[in-house]
Chain A
Amino acid sequence: NAGVMQNPRHLVRRRGQEARLRCSPMKGHSHVYWYRQLPEEGLKFMVYLQKENIIDESGMPKERFSAEFPKEGPSILRIQQVVRGDSAAYFCASSPGTPWADTQYFGPGTRLTVL
């Protein structure tokens, strides 16, 4: 019974490159959330998606960041033209979407380092 899977676990990029982070939700989960954890800080919500739909992206930076959750395949968080300030741990969570009783389960995270 696999949990939430994220890859890669560690990603190193130079300034100006693109970063692609992948998340496969738990089996049976149709809701995916992305959070960012800056060093020594708590997690901050970025975006919430269901299959083929972005439901809430109120936490996403306006530029360079995008997310998708296609009908087939994992959810992708894409960061274009990375800068040093993008260095952080990016966590994906999934939930079954059970009204009034939902719980988000997190993946192991992707640690992004921008040189």
Chain B
Amino acid sequence: AQKVTQAQTEISVVEKEDVTLDCVYETRDTTYYLFWYKQPPSGELVFLIRRNSFDEQNEISGRYSWNFQKSTSSFNFTITASQVVDSAVYFCALSEAWIQGAQKLVFGQGTRLTINP
């Protein structure tokens, strides 16, 4: 069975600090997809990134970066020079390989990140 674990329930840092959100996953599939979503206080879910299992390149997008390591089944998310607007709940998610169009997501419990001014 698939499982996503976000061990950090809550993180609180001061603005401009770097912060890393951990995500560990379990799957028996050899092809799978990993995602990060952001849920700000307003409640909507915002897509941040998708990573395919066969692509282990790390990715950087502005202050955001993602470190994918298949050897440790981890897909960690780092925010550099954090800002108050980064305060949100962040979810890591996993989906199986594409089979007849079905790609349901399995979510972690989420990490509530608070950036203090």
Q: Footprint of B on A, CB under 8 Å?
A: 31, 33, 35, 41-45, 48, 50, 55-56, 59, 89, 91, 93, 95, 97, 99-109, 111
Contact = CB atoms under 8 A, between A and B. Distances in A.
Given A102-B98, A103-B50, A91 B45 contact: yes
Contact of A104 (B98, B105, B106): B105
Contacts of A100: 52, 98
Contact of B43 (A35, A48, A89): A89
Given A42-B108, A109-B43, A55 B101 contact: yes
Contact of A97 (B47, B91, B101): B101
11 contacts: A41-B110, A42-B108, A42-B110, A43-B91, A100-B98, A102-B33, A102-B98, A103-B47, A106-B37, A106-B45, A108-B44
Contacts of A45: 104-106
A55 B107 contact: no
Best-buried of A42, A89, A100, A107 by chain B (most CB within 10 Å): A42
Contacts, number: 64
B1 to A, nearest CB: 12
Interface of B: 33, 35, 37, 42-47, 50, 52, 91, 93, 98, 100-110
A95 B91 contact: no
A31 B101 contact: yes
Contacts of A97: 101
Would you list the 5 A-B pairs with minimal beta carbon distance, nearest first? A106-B45, A42-B107, A45-B104, A108-B44, A43-B107
A102 B108 CA distance: 19
Contacts of A44: 107
Best-buried of A44, A59, A97, A103 by chain B (most CB within 10 Å): A103
Contacts of A107: 44
Given A43-B45, A50-B101, 18 more contacts: A31-B101, A33-B105, A35-B107, A42-B107, A42-B108, A43-B105, A55-B102, A56-B104, A59-B104, A97-B101, A99-B98, A102-B33, A103-B50, A104-B103, A105-B47, A106-B44, A109-B44, A109-B45
